[in-house]
Each structure stands twice: as structure tokens, then as C-alpha cells.
Amino acid sequence: MCGIAGIVARDPERPTPADRLAAMVATLRHRGPDDAGQVALPGAGLGMRRLSIIDVAGGGQPFTNEDGTVHLVGNGEIYNHAELRADLVAHGHVFRSSSDIEAVLHAYEAWGTNCLERIHGMFAIALWDARAGTLWAARDRAGEKPLYYAETPDGLVIASEIKALLACPDVSREVDLEALDQFLTYEYVPSPRTIFAAIRRLPAAHALTWRAGELKIAPYWDAAAIAPRNWSDDDAAAALRETLERAVERQMMSDVPLGAFLSGGIDSSVVVACMREAAQRTNSPVNTFSMGFADGSYNELPHARLIAERFGTHHREGMVQPDIAALFDQLIVHLDEPFADVSLFPTYLISTIAREHVTVALSGDGGDELFGGYDTYAADRLARRLAAVAPDGALRAIAAAAAHLPPREQKKGLVNKLKRFTAGIADAPADIGHYRWMTYVSPEAKRTLYTPALRDALAGAESYRPVRDALGAFGGGDLLNRQLYTDLRIFLSDDILVKVDRMSMAASLETRAPFLDTEVLELAGSMPGHLKVRGAERKFILKRAFADRLPASILRRPKEGFSIPMKNWLKRELAPLMHDLLSPERLARRGWIEPGAVAGRIAEHTAGRENHAHLLFSLMALERWAQATIDPPQSGS
């Protein structure tokens, strides 16, 4: 795992400023504490920080081809590098290391940009081809590894994280107000936007080409293009089990210790079951790590312990405490742009615990988006049925009545579910489908929440466009697979994987997601929706595939989600921080949000009359990010 950066000049003869490249690379030290390297050439330069995983001694970057005309830096792991290497060596290519990333360099030489069709892994790569005067960069199919870019008066800069781009003085920090609106809508900024008008995120499964001052972005893979197949239940289950077992074993390749995150949910349990199977063949231990909470409705440690005991893992646990004010400041600033998925805290904490014992951790990320694990799919199906038989006015009346019910402190519960379900129907347009329950500030709420200046600046903006575009890009008639495709393209890529990458890398830990292996992605894409959700049973085919390996209690468990009791902590332990960050004076100076509207929501929340945790935490994250990133430095600081 690494952090990478690059500079390309519009003038191909212009020397690359090595000091500026070094400054960019230095901001990424947390991603690669073991080593650093860079090459500064006329017209372009590439640099990296390295977390050594494969070929610890010999895998330093950048890599250069045999005649010194092509240079590459990469972040991630290429799981089929051994097969690629054998093919490339047979065709005369000479490798200088055993690194998996070096295989990409020679694959490019052999097959050009079409090499991406052959590369299976998680990666962000950047390559300078001096012969063609071309920078070429790409991200993996699911978006596990990040890559950002910005055009400048002098050329183009790219990096694994925004902080490296901001190290360049000619990259503007002007806020993209439409991205700000999208952040408050979703709790993250969907690709390709970032919170900065000048900076863009390269979408997952896309490649970037810069030549002679011209920038081109294009997809090289799309899950919507996977042809559906007619599967029997037995054949689908057998294929899924075999493919997942193979994916897990591939992702266990490492020259350093590795383990797994274990929540006790079905996805992480499946990964651990497959790890145990593979580890037995080499008589290797399996390390697992879990986080818990004092609040029983959020605590999943008993389920994790059950799996750890069943598979005989070396299991370690930690507890998330409500006193996270210092952690809030550290992590919100580290993220570079506003981000409000509160599970970032336990993700960071479990990463720090794991890093004390291992350098690599496998996770269950992607299982929900591939096999239908979220409540939102069931909510949308129920809403469609109700809309077919009940007048719209009746549903809105029910939502209005439910809004008067005070929320409960437990994680879910009947009242909380009813309020959330009916609010989704009442507050969001039906054409965004299940995203009615994945957005948090309605158009109506924005009319009183946003200042007139912000509303004017957003005239004509469409915060739901990313969802509508993704839903529309899936051409088949399978509703569930259309929803899964949209989550793969938006929620997984821009929320879940951003969170996991940044929080694990903040602890210098590499994470890998076997569910996002190329073979698993394409197998899941070929399966119809009725294999994934059947009646009320979610992840039907995944459960069937591992029915003989997992305890019945785990197979029957409802989806919980890796969350924290933020709504309760904002009333008590985090209330001082909330009042400070969201004071009327701060909000008025910022000029985006109406202080009175926020004060009213704080009062309702702290009194227990309503749950505004999603909005309030988002506004806290936004204000702290703005203080650290766009406000002028304080004198003497």
C-alpha cells in the first residue's frame, strides 16, 4: 500500500520541480511509512510513499522499464501478478523485483492501456510514457484505492489524497457550493466532484490520459455491461462459494502479518470462514479484530466472539467510548473534505488495534452492495406497494403523524424505523428509489436551512443527479440489480471505500475486500436479483453458499451496520463540541447555514423531541473542515 503523486507540465521540456513533488509526497507519509521515492523528469515527475507488503526489500518505487522511457508508481495490490509476470517474462520482459506493482509497468508495455482488462486487484496507478509524452492513470473497478487530480496553469497534478494536491500553491481552495449541497444531502460528496471546485476525484473503473495539455477521462469497465445468466440455486451457490474462497486465498498473499475485521455479520464471517480454510493448508494463524459499544443495541461483540471461537482465530477486541472529541478533530481534518459517516470512528479505532499486530486486514466490504443486504431495498419495495394502493395524501398524513413520535435511544426499534420510513416517502422524490432512505436533508428543509446567498448560488443545481444518472445507466429491467449497481457506483465507492481507505491508512494499515475481487464482482453481476433477495430474506444466495459453514444464528441475524450512538452522544458527551462548532456566531460568519434553523434543531435534538443527528454531525464536520482547510491561518500559528 502506498500514497502516490505526480506533476505533469504543459511544456514537455520544462524541468519538474523536485522540491514541489517532494512536498506533495511528504503529505502522504501515513500511507507509506516504510519508504519513499520519486523521479523528476523534463515534462513530468512521479513520487510515492510505500507501506511494504510484497517484496519488502526490493519493491521500492517508482518502477522504470528496461530502456528508461516509462515510469510508474502504484498504490494497492495486483492479485494476479504472478500469472501476468509469467506471461510477460515469456515474452522477454525483464523484472527487477518481485513486486506485484511492477507487473503493471510491463503489462502496459505489452498491451498498452488495454492492460487494465487483464489486471485484477485494488489499485491506483500513474504512469509517465516519455516516448508519447503521455501521463496515464487509472483506478480499480470498485474504487478501493483513491486518486484525485487538478488542472493548473502549468499543467496537471495527481495524488492519492487531496492534501497532497493542496501542497501545490497553484491549486485553488475555492469551495464548490454544489458539492457542499451534495455533501449535506448524502453525508459525502459523490464522484467526480470534491468539495473543491478545482479538484476532481477520478471515478472507480476509469482511466485518465493527459497528452499535450489535453485531459481525457473514460471508463474501462462497467458492471452494467455484465451479461445476466440463468442460474439454478444450487449452481449459483456452488459458484459463489468457490469464487469467494479463491478470492480470499488470493488476497491473503503477503510478506507481512495479516488478519481480518470481524463484526459478526454474515459478510465478515464469510471472509473469516474462507481465511480459516486457506490458512489450514499452510498451518497459519488467523487474526481477527472487533470493536464494541457499552450501548447494547449497538454492540456486536457477542456475535464476533461466536465466529472467532468457531474458527479458532486469535481474536482481539476494543471498545468505542463516547469521549471522541479529540478524535473528531484529528480525523475530520485528516479527511481533507467534509465527510459525515459516523462509522469512521470505529473504523479508525479498529484499524489502530489491528495495526499493533498486523499490516494487512481483510474486510467484508462490498457484500451488501453485491447481494442486497441493506434495509433500503426492502423499504423501497414496501413504498412501491403502498403507492399502488394508497393515495399520496394518506402516506403523507401517516408521515406527519409519525413525525410527532419522539425517537428512541436504541439503534433501531419499531418507532425509529417507522419515522425513518415515512420520512423517506414524504421528503424525497420517488424517482430516486431506495436513495430516499440514503439522503438526509430534503429540498423542503434546505429552503429554511440554507442562507439566501447559498440558495441563490445553487439555483438550477440538482443534488439528486448522481443517483438519477446511475439508476438510468443500468439498462436491464431487474430493479434490485439496478439498485445494487447504483450503490456500487455511488455509496460503496464514495462513502464506504473512502472511509475504509482513509481511516485504515491513517493507521498505516492496508485493508482488502475479497467481495470486490474482479471474479466476485462479475459473478455477482451475472446473477438475477431473485437470487440475492428472495421474499424477506436478503443475501439469499450468499447464505445458501455458506449454510454449512456459519452458525444458524449468524445466518438469521438482521443487518445491523457498523454505526455508533451519535444521536445519544450529541445530547451528552459531545454536546459542548456541538454547541461550540455550531454557535450562531460561527454559522453567521461562514454564511452558508441559517443560525436560527440550526439552533432550533439543536434544541429539539437535545430535548429528545427529534433525532437531528445526521444533520447536526454533518454541520459539525463541515465547520471543522472549513476552519482547518479554507480559513486563513491564525496569526502566530
Higher pLDDT, 504 or 253: 504
* Domain residue ranges of the chain, discontinuous segments joined by +: 2-221, 225-372+489-556
pLDDT of residue 410: 63
Q: Which residues of 454-493 are buried (b: 16+ CB within 10 A; e: fewer)?
A: beebbeeeebbebbbebbeebeeebbbbbbbbbbbbbbbb
pLDDT in tens, 510-537: 999 999 999 999 999 999 999 999 998 9
Cβ burial, residue 378 (10 Å; 0-12/13-18/19+)? middle
pLDDT of residue 50: 80
Mean residue pLDDT across the chain: 92
Strand order in the sheet with 258-261: 314-319, 287-292, 258-261, 360-362, 510-512
Taking the C-alpha atoms of residue 590 and residue 605, their distance in angstroms, rounded to an integer, is 23
pLDDT of residue 635: 53
pLDDT of residue 322: 59
Say which CATH architecture domain 2-221 belongs to. Answer: 4-Layer Sandwich (3.60)
pLDDT of residue 409: 65
pLDDT in tens, 80-101: 999 999 999 999 898 988 899 9
Cβ burial, residue 569 (10 Å; 0-12/13-18/19+)? buried
Higher pLDDT, 27 or 54: 27
pLDDT of residue 416: 77
Confidence of residue 57 (pLDDT cuts 50, 70, 90): low
pLDDT of residue 291 exceeding 50, the answer is: yes
CATH number attached to the domain at 225-372+489-556: 3.40.50.620
pLDDT of residue 110 exceeding 60, the answer is: yes
pLDDT in tens, 314-330: 999 988 775 678 889 99
Grid coordinates of 90: 515469456
pLDDT of residue 321: 74
pLDDT of residue 133 exceeding 90, the answer is: yes
Taking the C-alpha atoms of residue 381 and residue 387, their distance in angstroms, rounded to an integer, is 10
Give the mean pLDDT of 67-89.
Answer: 95
What's this model's pTM, rounded to 2 decimal places?
Answer: 0.94
DSSP-assigned letter for residue 49: E
pLDDT of residue 54 exceeding 70, the answer is: no
Taking the C-alpha atoms of residue 593 and residue 450, their distance in angstroms, rounded to an integer, is 5
pLDDT of residue 58: 64
Q: Which residues touch 71 (CB under 8 Å, ≥6 apart)?
A: 39, 41, 46, 62, 63, 64, 65, 127, 128, 130
pLDDT in tens, 539-563: 999 999 999 999 999 998 876 666 6
pLDDT of residue 637: 44
Instruction: Specify the range with the lowest mean pLDDT, choosing from 374-378, 401-405, 454-458.
Output: 401-405
